[in-house]
Amino acid sequence: MPLAHKNTVIIIAGSTAVGKTSTGIKLANQLDACIISADSRQCFKELNIGVAKPTPLQLNTCKHYFINSHSINDDVNAGVFEKYALDTAEELFKQNNIVVMVGGTGLYIKAFAEGIDSMPTIPPAIRENIIKQYEQYGLEWLQQEIKEKDIAFWEVAEQQNPQRLMRALEVVLATGQSINQYRTQQAVERPFNIIKIALELPREQLVANINQRVDEMMAEGLLGEVKALLPYQHLNALQTVGYKELFAYLNHECSLDEAVNRIKINTRQYAKRQMTWFKKDKAYQWLTNNNLSILDFIPLIK
């Protein structure tokens, strides 16, 4: 079926450690295109090793956007990414009718492809207080708060996902309304084609990749990176796998071996959630190897 527009965004998605970065760079170079990252943590210039950011060599090989573009002190969310990525794509289309997007943050990709509902502004004090109480009392406390204050959301929520639960709690505390009231689920029609590709590996290989990556991160100095960020551990940008576990070690809550093992376990669980998200979107074409070439896409973009 012919595509509707002149311009096209090819999205390379998938779970962590599946090979998105190298595949995306290879494809972008074959198409002489630039990459917009769709990763909610690689945009922070203070985070490097723990977010598996592309290496300086990879960044020089292909022009990237939304990498090192923000500070951990900035309030970055799906709405911010939507505007940034749409504005960037519009500029890039002036030089090339193909743009490549690479990342594993499903909500950001969805916001770019379909639009996102406008959310209320949350006072920083409310957000910081929720994070502080979550760190002190844990997931069970957070779940109970949502049950009591936003039962409508709780009944359809990812009940084991603290980020989603904290977001819902801050909305109801700030506005008195359920976060469901701000979700219309009406997709926006974009003025360009979107081709969605998702990478997949056998579970055993993905687990091996994750474990190897964590060991390599530790060898590259992840502990030192996290230690330098200890004064900022309360920030939302640092409530992420690879950092919060080492914060626990530095705060004398567990041993270093326990912290590293938790990173591996939590990363595997995160990868599973990513796969669940992308599998729900039937527009994705699934590829089980990373040997992509321009020949794979010519029937789609010509």
Q: Which amino acid would we find at residue 289?
A: N
* pTM flag (> 0.85): no
pLDDT reading at 108 higher than 70: yes
The tokens for 48 are 């490097």
Among 104, 83, 94, CA closest to 21: 104
Confidence of residue 163 (pLDDT cuts 50, 70, 90): confident
Which residues does 271 contact at the CB level (< 8 Å), separation at least 6? Answer: 15, 16, 17, 18, 206, 210
Domains of the chain with bracketed CATH: 8-117+190-215+274-301 (3.40.50.300), 124-182 (1.10.20.140)
Element (DSSP H or E) covering residue 248: helix 244-250
Mean pLDDT of the chain: 91
Cα 15 to Cα 20, 21, 123, 136, 150: the distances in Å are: 8, 11, 32, 29, 30
Chain segment 8-63, per-residue pLDDT in tens: 999 999 999 999 999 999 999 999 999 999 999 999 999 999 999 999 999 999 99
Exposed/middle/buried for residue 24 (C-beta within 10 Å: 0-12, 13-18, 19+) = buried
The share of the chain scoring above pLDDT 70, in percent, equals 94
Q: Which amino acid would we find at residue 118?
A: S
pLDDT reading at 300 higher than 80: no
Sheet with 35-37: strands ordered across? 64-65, 35-37, 98-102, 8-13, 193-199, 285-287
d(CA 108, CA 39): 8
Among 10, 22, 37, CA closest to 96: 10
| Residue with tokens 């311009």, as numbered in its chain | 7
Q: Which amino acid would we find at residue 140?
A: E
Exposed/middle/buried for residue 202 (C-beta within 10 Å: 0-12, 13-18, 19+) = exposed
Residue 161 has a pLDDT of 78
d(CA 264, CA 209): 10
Confidence of residue 119 (pLDDT cuts 50, 70, 90): confident
pLDDT reading at 180 higher than 90: no
Confidence of residue 1 (pLDDT cuts 50, 70, 90): very low
Name the DSSP letter for residue 136: H
- CA–chain centroid gap for 298, Å, is 28
Cα 241 to Cα 39, 56, 214, 235: the distances in Å are: 13, 22, 11, 14
DSSP lists the bridge partners of residue 198 as: 13, 286
d(CA 26, CA 35): 11
pLDDT reading at 297 higher than 60: no
The dihedral built from the CA positions of residue 148, 153, 157 and 163, taken in this order, carries a sign that is negative
3-class SS shares of the chain: helix, strand, coil, % to 5:
55, 10, 35
Q: Find the mean pLDDT for residues 251-261.
A: 97
Confidence of residue 291 (pLDDT cuts 50, 70, 90): low
User: Are 218 and 260 in contact, with CB atoms under 8 Å apart?
Assistant: yes
